[in-house]
Structure 1
Amino acid sequence: MTTEHAEDPRTPAAAPRADGTAHDLRGGARMVAVIVTYNRERLVAECLDALAAQTRRPDAVIVIDNASTDGSGRVADEHPVGADVVHLHRNVGGAGGFCAGIARAVESHGADWVWVMDDDTIPAPTALAELEAAIGASPVRLSVLSSRAVWTDGRDHPMNRPRTRLGASAQELADAAATSPGARPIRTASYVSALLSGSDVRRLGLPRADYFIWSDDFEHTARLLREGRGIHVPASVVEHRTAAFGDAQASPGARFYYDVRNRIWALTRTRSFTLLERALYGGRTVVAWIRLLARTRDGDLVRSGAAGLRDALLRGPRPSPAVLAADPEAAGAVRALERRTGR
């Protein structure tokens, strides 16, 4: 076990906060929600309505307005949930927004747990309560919990299925089952309703802002779960109101660039995955890319993928504070946290 993950998952831990105080991670902890929005004023209003209707309301709500050009920021400012709204001056994508939002949650709001979601995520009234109940019921210390994401017709959304931990032991399976009906151990999770341990974020760092979109959650939750424990909690349900039902590769268009570049970054330029996982996830990804290109026969898609491959091989992600340089306060919070984690 590496030194950065040296905590025994069977030992409940206290989460250090910026002021030096600590909170028990098992229950009664400070839950802070983080939403990233860009030009979706109707959806962000519905997301905030859903947060206000939680049976266990978040202790604070942060909205990162990613330089929206519509009324998304104003809607968030005026919503009665009383969110802490950060208006960025430049659109840094979901990855940059979550990097800034998670940093603000742990640095400014003393979060013990950070509940992350997109602006098109609509949590059911008991979504957070079920996640908190699973923490309290778990016989082991948890690092990440994920909700069940469904589409508007109630089907499980293929974009947000967490990866089950490969080779989970009988004890790990039993530990997960003890937390909530149908719960299972996971290796990665989507940011469409994931609950992240603030303690682990403080030790292991933030998502990388330079990913812009896609695979930031894949890499970050894998980092938290390299040695930590995570569970999928089907009793915690959110609706992911995407325009269509399908996974990220259903119709990626020019965004295929980020799919290729970021997945290569995640699997080759980080320590978030074991060698076996790199081979397995990398192999599956390449097969999916080949099938996509064979199905679409789209020259623009080929060019986007080739550009992503080129840039992934030429350089790694820029430092997150540099990506957020247009917003010195956000960049400063990220820099302060990364200074302590050494990342």
Structure 2
Amino acid sequence: MLEENHNYVTVVTVTYGNRVHLLEQVVDSCYVEGVDRIIIVANGVTDDVVTVLDKLVGKSRVPVRLELLEENIGSAGGFSKGLRIFSDEVGEGCVWLLDDDNVPACGSLSELKAFGRKLAGLDGGSECSALLSYRPDRQMYAQAVLEGDESIVIGPVDGFLGFSIFDRLKYSKRHLDLSKFDGNGSVAVAPYGGLFLTCSSLNRVGLPDERFYLYVDDHEWTYRLRKLGKILLVGSSRVEDVEQSWNVHEENWNFVKRLSKAPAFRLYYSTRNRVYFELNFLVNSRVRYYLNVICVSMLFVAYSVLRPRLLTVWFSALKDGFEGNLGVSRMKLGD
């Protein structure tokens, strides 16, 4: 699936709020990297931000297609919209997904193109569905390659929120120096930011599931993509995160403590969507899974004893995840 033309590359990115100061760095780096076109989806931004975005588009040295959405439809809806525009209006070459704070390092796109061309000349080209640039703040992807276990990035079978009392993740057992990682290898899922795929791969996998709204939508979508062929991490192609993501992996039980301090909307959507994803794709034994849910929930209750409002959000998220009630929640979750 990587036999197509890699010379024409379109970047799709989604922004929200007032993050033009970050997006400007992305647009500038795209010019340096030789990107042919940029599609920016603005997720329900204010008129003042639209004015600044128009100025950014006007001075960009790369052709930009700006899509303004009246309301924020989340990362799932935003990237789905951008990918649909790419498929309908461009319909050729490759698409490189970047978050609005993802700045490609010098030469990162050339590395992807070269790797793709090399792979296309081998039998493995037809077995690969996408490439992935390496983001140093997401070291679990490099660790998955070095350990030779692509499932490290997704968590153990029957695990809850990626944790299992029966099977500790390998990346919590070994500490490797990943500062100079430049290897290549297969991973089970990927974030949006850094993903590089052809138009034909996109047409085969379809679009992200907009019902997820926020969080885990990238994993569900790329899990489907992985079923079509390998997702190969290219360590020599680097994308730097200007802002570190809130949910970058923490070892042991620290992730529960972080969840207990998260805003209600973040707690709800990340938990609900992960439960739905795990139940549909990663669970073989519901008994083991429920035991993991109970263990993590007990710890969450202990951490959240001074924030009883979060307990309501937590158990509502579990219930909706179990029952498959996706979409925008009717609960008052705040910003």
Length-normalised TM-score, structure 2: 0.71
1:45 corresponds to 2:24? yes
5 Å matches for 1:170-209? 181-209=182-210
State the distance in 2 between where 1:115 and 1:162 align: 23
Contact 2:320–2:326 (8 Å) recurs in 1: no
Give the 3 Å change call, closer, same or farther, for CA 203–285 of structure 1 in structure 2: farther
1:256 corresponds to 2:267? yes
1:148 corresponds to 2:134? yes
Give ranges in structure 2 of 5+ residues lacking alignment.
153-180, 250-254, 329-335
Say which SS state the counterpart of residue 62 (structure 1) adopts. Answer: strand
Q: Which residue of 1 aligns with 2:37?
A: 60
Give ranges in structure 1 of 5+ residues lacking alignment.
1-12, 15-23, 151-155, 168-179, 320-343
Deviating more after overlay: 183-192 vs 246-255: 246-255
CA shift at 1:212, angstroms? 1.7
State the distance in 1 between where 2:324 and 2:218 align: 20
RMSD: 3.3
Candidates 88, 103, 106, aligned match of 1:125 = 106
State the distance in 2 between where 1:89 and 1:229 align: 36
Q: Which residue of 1 aligns with 2:53?
A: 73
Matched letter for residue 274 of structure 2: R
- Matched residue pairs, number? 275
State the distance in 2 between where 1:200 and 1:79 align: 32
State the distance in 2 between where 1:277 and 1:166 align: 17
* Cα offsets for 1:94-143 (capped at 9, x unmatched): 11100101111112111432211110111112121111121122231221
Contact 2:283–2:289 (8 Å) recurs in 1: no
* Cα offsets for 1:286-324 (capped at 9, x unmatched): 8767655544544333222222222223444469xxxxx
* Cα offsets for 1:241-287 (capped at 9, x unmatched): 22677627545321110011111222334xxx365599999988887
* Cα offsets for 1:8-27 (capped at 9, x unmatched): xxxxx48xxxxxxxxx42x5
Identical-pair percentage: 26
Contact 2:205–2:228 (8 Å) recurs in 1: no
State the distance in 2 between where 1:159 and 1:300 align: 32
State the distance in 1 between where 2:310 and 2:69 align: 30
State the distance in 2 between where 1:109 and 1:283 align: 48
State the distance in 2 between where 1:41 and 1:188 align: 28
Rg (Cα) greater in structure: 2
Q: Which residue of 2 aligns with 1:231?
A: 232
1:309 corresponds to 2:290? no
Give the 3 Å change call, closer, same or farther, for CA 68–158 of structure 1 in structure 2: farther
Give the 3 Å change call, closer, same or farther, for CA 244–260 of structure 1 in structure 2: closer
Give the 3 Å change call, closer, same or farther, for CA 133–277 of structure 1 in structure 2: farther
Say which SS state the counterpart of residue 189 (structure 1) adopts. Answer: coil
